[in-house]
Amino acid sequence: MRGWQLHNYGDELQLSDKVKIPQIRNSQDCLVKVRTTSVNPIDVAMARGYGATVLNKLRCQPGDGIEFPLTLGREFCGELVQKGMGVTSKDLKQGTRVWGVVPLQSPYGAHAEYVSVPASCLAPAPAELDDSEAASVLYAGLTAWSGLYITGGLGGLCGATTSSGGGSQKRILVLGGSGGVGSLAIQILKSQGAQVLATCSENAIELVRCLGADFVVDYSNPVAMEELCNFAPFDIVLDCAGQGGQHAAELKFDYRQYITFSSPLLANIDRNGLGFGALQNLSDLVRTNVKSLTQRGGLVKWGFFSPAPHGIQFLQNLVQKRKLLPLIDTSFEFSEMPKAFERMQNGHLRGKIVIKL
Ligand SMILES: NC(=O)c1ccc[n+]([C@@H]2O[C@H](COP(=O)([O-])OP(=O)(O)OC[C@H]3O[C@@H](n4cnc5c(N)ncnc54)[C@H](OP(=O)(O)O)[C@@H]3O)[C@@H](O)[C@H]2O)c1
């Protein structure tokens, strides 16, 4: 099959037409013919070696201890072509149009004609979305969902363990409302009856308002940022703008939780190894929390993408009720993958980067 491969960190991606089609090795796996996929910040980071120490450890099952060639791509929409004997769901038949995500440790990503993932990582794609839209929801959407409901406990125990959501009457500030994660987080929160405030660049304010945010400010305007103090304390400040935990104590207003998707967890382990890296993580978390609790009265937590089936179900329900629609920044052909990576690296995204096969 055709697939984009990385042969060393920092190298150019190579397109090959001799990539082996991934095998179904587990009775729970499904093989999907990819129609559309996307590029996320994690693809650009992984191409440079981000997370390699932990991800290689997770990859090292017997017979699976390979690092290169690595195929990136964490989400897709396509057609189910084969399934393992243990996949019993009646919804997943050969020929079903599916959407899904690829776990981070899998070396066989979706930037190829076929991808193999556990059945729990995919579901029938909602008819409400075309193929490009269906490849633009799950990675960022499951990140936003997991940050809010697993890390943030916004819907209590039910919100974290089922697709029930929750969060009505809560007040949330989304930092970076115009990006892939932020634009979905706003729509998720509005669908649950939360009050949503957001920050973004000035030229994205109208767009972020259209997503449903109740109050939007330009993050580069200090006077506008001061206005956020009138709404404090926030139940959650959700950092979808790559600010990190150290930014929490610098904010001028109080919050109960500051949840960032830019944790130093994998980078610390890449730099210092598993043992010292884990200690560094603990020290970073304690340090940012002491500062944040004393200066702003709230906790700093790290949020992560989680490929949870009930998270997929939650997002699917919202799409079907037409409460969630992804923004697409740019579409590229499969042969233009390096251009898509360049677009991601240039930043200022207004939604997702889609690749059509
Ligand atoms: N931990 C995880 O598992 C996980 C999973 C997914 C994503 N992430 C991280 O989460 C972040 C968001 O991901 P994404 O896919 O949404 O990225 P993205 O599409 O590149 O969006 C980032 C957005 O943030 C805006 N922005 C940049 N600086 C800002 C600031 N100071 N204040 C407010 N907005 C700002 C950008 O707009 P302008 O360019 O106009 O400023 C852009 O729209 C990234 O850092 C990513 O690495 C982590």
pTM for this entry: 0.96
**Same structural domain for residues 174 and 290?**
yes
Q: Which of 285, 302, 319 is the last residue of a domain?
A: 302
Q: Which residues on neighbouring strands pair with residue 352, listed in sequence order?
A: 328
Stretch 337-353: mean pLDDT, rounded?
A: 95
Q: How far apart are CA 350 and CA 339, in angstroms?
A: 17
Q: 234-239 and 171-175: which strand pairing?
A: parallel
Q: Residue 86 pLDDT > 60, yes or no? A: yes
> What is the residue with the minimal CA distance to atom 37 of ligand 1?
348
Q: Which of 302, 317, 346 is the last residue of a domain?
A: 302
Assign residue 32 the CATH number of its domain: 3.90.180.10
Any domain includes 230: yes
Alpha carbon of residue 223 to chain centroid: 31
Any domain includes 331: yes
Atom of ligand 1 nearest to the CA of 183: 16
Q: Residue 314 pLDDT > 80, yes or no? A: yes
**Same structural domain for residues 149 and 251?**
yes
From first CA to last CA, the distance across the chain in angstroms is: 12
Atom of ligand 1 nearest to the CA of 242: 45
- The rounded Å distance from CA 348 to ligand 1 centre is 9
In this prediction, residue 109 carries a pLDDT of 96
In this prediction, residue 58 carries a pLDDT of 86
Q: How far apart are CA 98 and CA 42, in angstroms?
A: 22
Q: Which residues on neighbouring strands pair with residue 168, listed in sequence order?
A: none
Q: How far apart are CA 177 and CA 155, in angstroms?
A: 21
Q: Write the pLDDT tens digit of every residue in 221-275.
A: 999 999 999 999 999 999 999 999 999 999 999 999 999 999 999 999 999 999 9
Q: How many domains are there within the chain?
A: 2
- The rounded Å distance from CA 225 to ligand 1 centre is 18
Atom of ligand 1 nearest to the CA of 176: 34
Stretch 60-69: mean pLDDT, rounded?
A: 68
- Per the document, the length of the chain is 357
The per-residue pLDDT of the chain, averaged, comes to 95
Q: Write the pLDDT tens digit of every residue in 195-214.
A: 999 999 999 999 999 999 99
- The rounded Å distance from CA 183 to ligand 1 centre is 10
Q: Residue 306 pLDDT > 60, yes or no? A: yes
Atom of ligand 1 nearest to the CA of 344: 20
State which of 148, 200, 263 you would mutate to test the pocket of ligand 1, scoring each by most atoms of that ligand within 8 A of its C-beta.
Answer: 200
Banded model confidence at residue 175, pLDDT cuts 50, 70, 90 = very high
In which residue are the tokens 């796996």 written?
A: 29
State which of 102, 143, 211, 329 you would mutate to test the pocket of ligand 1, scoring each by most atoms of that ligand within 8 A of its C-beta.
Answer: 143
Atom of ligand 1 nearest to the CA of 347: 39
**Binding-site residues, ligand 1, Cβ < 6 A:** 40-42, 140, 143, 175-176, 178-182, 199-201, 204, 219, 240-243, 261-262, 304-305, 347-349
Any domain includes 156: yes
Q: Residue 285 pLDDT > 60, yes or no? A: yes
- The rounded Å distance from CA 182 to ligand 1 centre is 7
What percentage of the chain reaches a pLDDT higher than 70? Answer: 98
Q: Residue 62 pLDDT > 70, yes or no? A: no
Banded model confidence at residue 64, pLDDT cuts 50, 70, 90 = low
Any domain includes 320: no
Banded model confidence at residue 123, pLDDT cuts 50, 70, 90 = very high
Any domain includes 265: yes
- The rounded Å distance from CA 132 to ligand 1 centre is 20
In which residue are the tokens 């009050």 written?
A: 195
Q: Residue 4 pLDDT > 70, yes or no? A: yes
Q: Is the separation of the CB atoms in 70 and 24 below 8 Å?
A: no
In this prediction, residue 63 carries a pLDDT of 52
Any domain includes 312: no
- Joined tokens for residue 230: 């009138």
Stretch 5-31: mean pLDDT, rounded?
A: 95
- Domain span at 168: 140-302
**Helix or strand run (H / E) with residue 156:** helix 156-161
In this prediction, residue 59 carries a pLDDT of 81
Q: Which residues on neighbouring strands pair with residue 258, listed in sequence order?
A: 237, 300
Q: Residue 65 pLDDT > 70, yes or no? A: no
Q: Write the pLDDT tens digit of every residue in 134-151.
A: 999 999 999 999 999 999
Q: Is the separation of the CB atoms in 45 and 113 below 8 Å?
A: no
Q: CB 272: neighbour CB atoms within 10 A?
A: 15
